[in-house]
Structure 1
Amino acid sequence: MSGAYPPPRDDAPLVVFDFDHTLYDGDSGSHLFKWLIERAWWRVLLALLVAPVAGPMVAWLPTRRAGISVFVWTGTLGVRDRAALDALIDRYVASHVEAVKARLLPLALDVFHQHRERGDRVVVATGAPPELARAILSFVAHEDVPVIGTLLGPKLGGMGALRHCHHAMKMTMLRAAGFTGPVESAYSDSSADLPLLRAARRPVVVNPKAARVALFRRVLPSGTPILNWGCPGRAGEPAGG
Structure 2
Amino acid sequence: MIFQQFFEAESHTYSYLLACEQSRQAVLIDPVESEVAHYIDALNSQGLTLAYTLETHVHADHVTAADALRQRLGSQSVIHRDAGVLCGDLLVTDGMHLKVGSLDIEVRYTPGHTNGCVSYCLGDRIFTGDALLINGCGRTDFQQGDAGQLYDSVHRQIFSLPDATLVYPGHDYHGHTVSTVGKEKRDNPRLGGQISRAAFVQLMANLKLAPPIQMAVALPANQSCGRQVVNQSS
TM-score by length of 2: 0.33
Asked which structure has the greater RCO (Cα within 8 Å, sep 6+), the reply is 1
Larger Rg: 1
Greater helix share, structure number: 1
* Structure showing the higher strand proportion among its residues: 2
